[in-house]
Amino acid sequence: MDIIDILKKVHAVMTDDHFVYTSGKHGEVYVNKDAVYPHPKEVSQVGQLFAEKYKDADIDVVAAPALGGIILSTWTAYHLSQMKGKEILGVYAEKMPDKSMAFTRGYDTLIRGKNVLVIEDLTTTGGSVKKVVDLVRATGGTVVAVCVMVNRNPEGVNEKTIGAPFDSLGVLKAEAWDENELPERIKSRPVNTNVGHGKKYLENR
């Protein structure tokens, strides 16, 4: 069971197009993580892959950034609980209006004094997952490890930049450029408005 195979099965890997990423950068490869979440079997398999990687680590809680991380943290916690024979909790951090992250709904009390596995679906800049790492520590939890479903930028997102033991289930390089640095082959393609932030990008131009 390979993460890229799972993603391809649900048509979540897209290439040779013009996408705008969450970071605002542009590229031609897109992993449409939202194509995975409607499929319980495949989401469960992703959670199982995370859990198998960390089944021997001392973990109390799995934490992730919303929105996709809500689903992944729950499934990963479920499979870890099965493997370890004890309850592992799954929680998520929410983005605040000022772009910071916070544990709301009393989840901060579940993090304090606990060993935490931080997971995320995709990383291009690693910004969201780094915010969750910092938040766990600020809340009084210990970050045991960080793992992402797919790392799109292994040179720029790693243990050094995240500041914690870091790994991924798979790597799918997706080069990203600022708008004014785009290669001609991508610039000549219309911006994809169905996935990513292309629609919002065009509206704000």
Do the bridges between strand 61-65 and strand 89-95 make them parallel or antiparallel, or are there none, so unpaired?
Answer: parallel
Give pLDDT tens digits for 21-74: 988 999 999 999 899 999 999 999 999 999 999 999 999 999 999 998 999 999
Q: Specify if 205 maps to a domain.
A: no
User: Does residue 153 sit within a domain?
Assistant: yes
User: Is residue 63 assigned to a domain?
Assistant: yes
Residue 104 domain-assigned (yes or no): yes
Total number of domains constituting the chain:
1
Q: Where are the beta strands (DSSP E) in 66-185?
A: 89-95, 101-102, 115-123, 142-151, 166-171
Q: How far apart are CA 92 and CA 87, in angstroms?
A: 17
Predicted local distance difference test score (pLDDT) of residue 124: 78
CATH of the domain at 82: 3.40.50.2020
Q: Are 151 and 168 in contact (CB under 8 A)?
A: yes
Element of type H or E holding 5: helix 3-9
Q: What is the DSSP string of 119-146?
A: EEEEESS-HHHHHHHHHHHHHT-EEEEE
Residues spanned by the domain of 80: 3-198
Residues 6+ apart with CB under 8 A from 100: 131
- pTM for the model stands at 0.87
